[in-house]
Structure 1
Amino acid sequence: MYYQVVKRLFCIAALTCSGMYAQAQHTAVKEPKDVPAEWSKAYAPFRMAGDLYYVGTADLAVYLITTKAGNILINTGLAGSLPMIKRNIEALGFKFKDTKILLTMQAHYDHMGAMAAIQKMTGAKFMVDEKEEDVVKSGGATDYAIGGGVSTYQPVKIDRLLHNGDTIHLGDMNLVMLHHPGHTQGSCSFLFDTRDSSRSYRVLLANMPTIVTEKHFHEVHEYPGIAKDYAYTLQSLSGLQFDVWAAAHASQFDLAEKHHPGDAYNPAVFKDRAGFDKELAELKAKYEQKMAEEE
């Protein structure tokens, strides 16, 4: 009798957990609709430098890094960008299902929208900065700036939490994750080496810390260290050395001016240290203005 009762309770618990899991897999999502057209506008994929390729939209950057052991995809744009990303990868001659690792530069819906679906389609492992764990698991609902308790993308299964300076290995590729918080608590950049038949390149995918303007820093109670994190990130980025660089948004590194569909392979156009320093200086000025206003 005892065995039957325990067995029944176990079955009920299993069914309950199964239902909860199924619910978690189908979270109600409310992706903002009033977004720039460039975020979903098609853009022809192309080779940037060595094994680095651009497969994103006209403004939401999505990067493919290829290796002999499979490929790494960084960012996914909006949820509706999935078919475009798949087409772009295949147009370059690579297999979508060869995606082995998924990364993001920040856990906002405009970079995470298609992440859960791509993970399901490819079986790739998702790795993310440890400070984004709660936000990713909630589908953006717990984000301090635009969450408000409502998921803006499907929650994603996390296979590995990353810490500042951690290395992501795949084949002969080694990416170093740099913790660059401020815009989100777990925003990050990636630094790695790649090469073509002529030379090697030190590549920086920089998470340029756009300054949040909706509130004063001291009013962001969900993120009490936000001002300090911005200061750290601006300083950290300014000290980095690289050959070529890009960012989470194409507009942040002037992609439309540096590259046009059909252009020949030319990594040199993405060197642009002056453009990087200019972008950082503008962000620093906005940060200092905001700090002055708070004082």
Structure 2
Amino acid sequence: MKPLWIAAGAATLAGLAAVAFAQSPASWVTPTAPFKIADNLYYVGSAGISTFLITTPKGHILIDGGMPGTAKQIEASITTLGFKPTDVKVLLNTHAHFDHAGGLAALKADTGAKLAASAGDRPALETGTYPGSEDIKAFNFAPVKVDRVLKDGDTVGVGGEVLTAHVTPGHTAGCTTWTFPVKIEGKPAQAIVYCSTSVAANRLVSKTRGPQYPGIVADYEKSFATLKSLKADIFLAPHGEQFDMDEKRARLGKGPNPFVDPTELQVRTAASEQAFRQDLAKQQEAAR
């Protein structure tokens, strides 16, 4: 069954969006065993919400904080892999929604890591709200201070590992896609942690309330163009179903690494752009 947030993507009613987020799938907070994706790249999230760990001898990088209340799960997964949560030096975020930023404040407090995030998402992170839908309390999460404000093309590094921020706005105003080199059994490859280009609960157009934020449609268009220009051998995303995590995980160790697919980024981008255009058309029709 599709998670409610996906089913609500084409809907325009704020009430439906509120229900969708308030009744989020159980998998979003259900623990799952962590696992290795590439030589120093690991999955440490819940069964349904991704968190990625990049390890180095001089400290680690963590991408996304999961749902509110799941920080201890993430920390336990890091420990299970043989690493120390307190060795996490940098926290990153794909986007400032409660299901991916809800645990950042607790993770920051527990690890002492610094949070680097885009300028567009900084207001949402530091207020713990969903801009444009601040009245929907189900969207709120614990505020977290941003220590370093990033712009498109900035890099973040720890222990020789360097990640590049690609601001791909639309899903949020500062949605950030991360690219970085990895090794698979010693061989170089390129990984991407895609932010999101789904519409979800966003208002693209609205007769009564206006768009989620000014310029949102143009932002989506810009982001699709950016994603089409990128290449990656490993495609990862904030929700497991966005990159067939369970199916690929089941095939680990049974042949070539199942997470390696140089075509997946563009296939996923094309499908998301088509869904966006359908949602836009529906919202435009509803606004007439």
Equivalent pair of 2:198/2:276 in contact (CA under 8 Å): no
Equivalent pair of 2:128/2:140 in contact (CA under 8 Å): yes
Task: Tell me, in whole angstroms, the C-alpha distance in 2 between the residues paired with 1:267 and 1:49.
Answer: 12
Distance 1:204 1:164, change over 3 A: same
The corresponding residue for 1:165 is 153
**Match status 1:288 vs 2:269:** no
Equivalent pair of 2:91/2:116 in contact (CA under 8 Å): yes
> What is the SS of the residue equivalent to 1:67?
coil
**Match status 1:73 vs 2:62:** yes
- TM-score, length basis structure 1: 0.82
The share of aligned pairs that are identical, in percent, is 33
Distance 1:216 1:159, change over 3 A: closer
Task: Tell me, in whole angstroms, the C-alpha distance in 2 between the residues paired with 1:214 and 1:33.
Answer: 15
Cα shift readout 1:21-44 (whole Å, capped 9, x = no counterpart): xxxxxxxxxxx6411111112211
Give, in angstroms, the shift of residue 144 of structure 1: 2.0
The corresponding residue for 2:51 is 62
Distance 1:50 1:149, change over 3 A: same
Give, in angstroms, the shift of residue 68 of structure 1: 1.6
The corresponding residue for 2:248 is 258
The corresponding residue for 2:31 is 42
Distance 1:222 1:215, change over 3 A: closer
Counterpart residue type for residue 232 of structure 1 = K
Candidates 181, 185, 206, aligned match of 1:193: 181
Candidates 228, 232, 235, aligned match of 1:238: 228
Task: Tell me, in whole angstroms, the C-alpha distance in 1 between the residues paired with 2:60 and 2:51.
Answer: 13
Task: Tell me, in whole angstroms, the C-alpha distance in 2 between the residues paired with 1:243 and 1:279.
Answer: 13
The corresponding residue for 1:208 is 196
Task: Tell me, in whole angstroms, the C-alpha distance in 2 between the residues paired with 1:257 and 1:139.
Answer: 33
Task: Tell me, in whole angstroms, the C-alpha distance in 2 between the residues paired with 1:182 and 1:68.
Answer: 36
The corresponding residue for 1:29 is none
Equivalent residues in 2 for 1:65-144 (5 A)? 65-140=54-129, 142-144=130-132
Distance 1:175 1:206, change over 3 A: same
Equivalent residues in 2 for 1:6-45 (5 A)? 33-45=22-34
Equivalent pair of 1:47/1:265 in contact (CA under 8 Å): no
Distance 1:138 1:264, change over 3 A: same
Equivalent pair of 1:210/1:283 in contact (CA under 8 Å): yes
Counterpart residue type for residue 58 of structure 2 = A
Distance 1:38 1:266, change over 3 A: farther
Matched residue count: 261
Give, in angstroms, the shift of residue 86 of structure 1: 1.1
Cα shift readout 1:198-224 (whole Å, capped 9, x = no counterpart): 311211111131124563425544511
The corresponding residue for 2:16 is none
Task: Tell me, in whole angstroms, the C-alpha distance in 2 between the residues paired with 1:205 and 1:215.
Answer: 25
> What is the SS of the residue equivalent to 1:118?
helix
Equivalent pair of 1:253/1:276 in contact (CA under 8 Å): no
Equivalent pair of 2:203/2:212 in contact (CA under 8 Å): no
**Match status 1:178 vs 2:166:** yes
Task: Tell me, in whole angstroms, the C-alpha distance in 1 between the residues paired with 2:25 and 2:245.
Answer: 16
Task: Tell me, in whole angstroms, the C-alpha distance in 2 between the residues paired with 1:122 and 1:267.
Answer: 35
Whose radius of gyration is greater, 1 or 2?
A: 1
Give, in angstroms, the shift of residue 100 of structure 1: 0.6
The alignment yields a C-alpha RMSD, in angstroms, of: 2.1
Structure 2: tracts of 5 or more residues without a match: 1-20
